[in-house]
Amino acid sequence: MSFRVIFFEFGISISQNKQNFKEMKILWCITGAGQFLKECAEILDGNDDVKTVAISEAGEDVLKMYGIKLNTEHKILEKEQGKAFPFCGKVCKGDYDLIIAAPVTSNTVAKLAYGISDSLITVIITQAIKSAIPVCLLPTDISEGYSITPKGRKIYVKIREIDEENIERVAKQGVKILKNLTEIMEILDTKALRT
């Protein structure tokens, strides 16, 4: 017998087996985005529901630039996957209940908007969409505002019209676009609904 937990605020439904009802298996994807990365790591790294973190090559570079070391034990690195990205088979098999890609670069969003799957993260997300596994993205280009560079400099980030259009195209594929970090915390806090 399976249960369905509905996240009404997000429009996300996740099937859970009754025996594993208290445990959600989240795959966290990291691209080469620096904006929000430190905060996403503080929220997601080490969370009991985050079983695996998939990291693009650019994501590895940005983690190093920001001096972030992840505690999540199971890490999938793009550079170790080869061109076929065999790990993505686990996504298709339903080994994960939810994919959270945070933060996501405008490059990754653009690829997803136009159906280009040529990296570990774009293949994971595309396969999740095709397999009806809920996907949440936190794009860096979701709102204008100030950001801090790895060297501590404050810069203003402007959102281009093309980035807004690409985010809308991805949302039309059934992907939940997160507007802020609070929404990630709310998704994780829904664990109270599953106990």
In this prediction, residue 18 carries a pLDDT of 36
User: Under a CB-based contact definition with an 8 Å cutoff, are residues 99 and 137 in contact?
Assistant: no
- Phi, then psi, of 118 in degrees rounded to 5: -130, 15
- What distance in Å separates the CA atoms of residue 79 and residue 15, rounded to the nearest whole number? 32
Comparing CA positions, the residue from 73, 154, 152, 58 lying closest to residue 103 is 58
- What distance in Å separates the CA atoms of residue 190 and residue 192, rounded to the nearest whole number? 5
Q: Classify domain 23-194 at the CATH topology level.
A: Rossmann fold (3.40.50)
Across the chain, which distance is largest between two alpha carbons, in Å? 53
Instruction: Output the six-digit token pair for 28.
Output: 């966290």
Half-sphere exposure of 131 (CA within 13 A, CB side): 22
Predicted TM-score (pTM) of the model is 0.84
Per-residue pLDDT of the chain (195 residues; tens, 9 = 90+): 232 333 434 444 444 433 444 578 999 999 999 989 999 999 999 899 999 999 999 999 999 999 999 998 899 999 999 888 999 999 999 999 999 999 999 999 999 999 999 999 999 999 999 999 999 999 998 888 887 777 888 989 889 999 999 999 999 999 999 999 999 999 988 753 343
Comparing CA positions, the residue from 108, 80, 102 lying closest to residue 167 is 108
DSSP letter string, 176-194: EEP-SHHHHHHHHHGGGGG
